Amino acid sequence: MKKLNWKKAILAGVIGTLLFDIVGLLFTGQWWDIPGLLGQKTGLGFVYGIFGHYGNGVLLAILYSAIAPHLWGPYWLRPFIFVTAETIALVWLFMLPLLGAGVAGINQSPMTPVVTLLRHFAFALPLIFIVNSEIQSKITPMKQPSTNQ
């Protein structure tokens, strides 16, 4: 069993969350909207929201790093499969309805499902280039069968 590269997973989580925030800024015009919402809804303030938001990104990258070798499909596609499933299950069907925005945030705006998925696709990019490069480097290629008879 291969060991998890914690440093690369944490780095991918931080960079992925930063990319998530940049895409959010481009679409919403607001910087750190999620940390602000987390701080407000928990009553713990904006600084907690920042740490909670980035901590969540790191935890998702660690989770991906642990399960990526067991996912199907090409290595470049696995992060997109992971973040799509995570977005649907945890954001569209849990978090957004909990916040009163309806399933997939449709009560907030018809663009909410699109924007949330694009933000998570941006999060997936470091998973491809940092985490998957680590996983691929540890895979030993299968030996080709001998053609000599």
Asked whether the beta carbons of 13 and 60 are under 8 A apart, the reply is yes
Question: Is residue 145 assigned to a domain?
Answer: no
Question: Is residue 144 assigned to a domain?
Answer: no
Lookup: tokens for 63: 């989770």
CB atoms within 10 A of CB 133: 12
pTM for this model (two decimals): 0.87
| Each residue's pLDDT tens digit, 91-100 | 999 999 999 9
Question: Is residue 29 assigned to a domain?
Answer: yes
pLDDT at 133: 78
Across the range 43-56, mean pLDDT stands at 97
Question: Is residue 51 assigned to a domain?
Answer: yes
Entry field: residues in the chain: 149
User: For a pLDDT cut of 70, what percent of the chain falls above it?
Assistant: 88
CB contact set of 74 (below 8 Å; sequence gap of 6+)? none
Report the distance separating Cα 147 and Cα 131, nearest Å. Answer: 36
Domain containing 129: what range?
Answer: 6-136
Across the chain, mean pLDDT equals 91
Question: Is residue 129 assigned to a domain?
Answer: yes
Question: Is residue 142 assigned to a domain?
Answer: no
| Each residue's pLDDT tens digit, 132-143 | 876 666 554 444
Instruction: Report how far Cα 28 is from the mean position of its chain's Cα atoms.
Output: 19
Looking at the structure of the chain, the number of domains it has is: 1
Tokens 């996912």, residue located: 71
